[in-house]
Amino acid sequence: MQQFFDYSDEVKHAIQNNNPILAMESTIISHGMPYPHNLETAKTLEKIVRDHGVIPATIAIINGKIKIGLSESELEQLASDKHVKKASRRDLAYILSQGFSAGTTVAATLFCAARVGIKVFATGGIGGVHRGDDHDISADLIELARNPVAVICAGAKAILNLPRTLEFLETFSVPVVGYRTNVLPAFYTDKTQYALPATVNDVSSLVKIIRTHWQLGMTSGVLITNPIPETSAIPADVIEPVIAYAVEKAQRENIVGKAITPFLLKEVAEKTKGESLKANIALIKNNVTLGAELAFARV
């Protein structure tokens, strides 16, 4: 399998010396934000990680190789090249064998991180069960159930069916732990009505839960929900009508599959006059900060 992987010198050195590493996905760069906000954000996130004494491992596919850690030119390519594809786990063989480049989704990044032994991964929001179709389930949830990686997120994306998403995670025995919250955050919004089964208020408690989970022989990941900072959150009564409109428009235009999330995020950003983009950037910075602290603590 290692023939498909290529490590940055920084990541290779960290692995050889058992230094802390934080995985990050790349569809937020390739498909989640417009240029140049995506590139600026990616560089800022990597700096946050390094400032915490941790090595950033942004994961992507570049010219048919799974890259664990990206150079500045590779970040620029992902951010600006309109031909960069979007790769979930199912797409990896196709993308690699054809020599394409792609941003990796949460699902694909989870798979790759687990294969190279990275235990902590920070992202914006995870996918889940889509509104209006309980059979439309993100591969992110399946990979959370399959791979022993701690994932920090701002909850499931607000465009999803949140209670169904929580039920799915429960069915597949994925622990969902609220960090300084006892309810599920919803990406743009710091709180919802949906109670979480576990809550902690410090990183050392997170470390104990994650270690105990894996010491019991559990093979799933652990999902840590970290609310968007309150000062950057968009109230539910403001964002919900916007999301409902975007979902309805997607249905009218028959937007499905991997195209739906970028479509909805773009629609929401336009309707909120860029406020949702600001919230997105704030929450991913917040998640990467917590992810770096967790990686440094050595789960």
Catalytic residues: 25, 157
HSE-CB of 132 using CA atoms within 13 angstroms = 13
Q: What's the first-to-final CA gap in the chain, in angstroms?
A: 25
Q: What Cα–Cα distance (Å) separates residue 20 from each residue in 47, 50, 99, 273? A: 15, 10, 30, 38
Torsion of the alpha carbons at 128, 134, 137 and 142, rounded to the nearest 10: 90
Q: Residue 195 pairs with which residues in a beta bridge?
A: 183
Question: Which token pair is 221?
Answer: 């990941």
One-letter identity of residue 152: I
User: What 3-state DSSP class applies to 12?
Assistant: helix
Question: Which token pair is 5?
Answer: 């992987």
Measured between alpha carbons, how far is 135 from 180 in angstroms, rounded to an integer? 32
φ/ψ bin of 29: left (φ > 0), alpha (ψ from -120 to 50), beta (otherwise): alpha
Query: Residue 31's Cα: distance from chain center in Å?
Result: 13
In sequence order, the 6+-apart residues with CB closer than 8 A to the CB of 240 are 158
Measured between alpha carbons, how far is 143 from 111 in angstroms, rounded to an integer? 7
Question: In this structure, what are the phi and psi dihedrals at residue 225, rounded to the nearest 5 degrees?
Answer: -100, 120
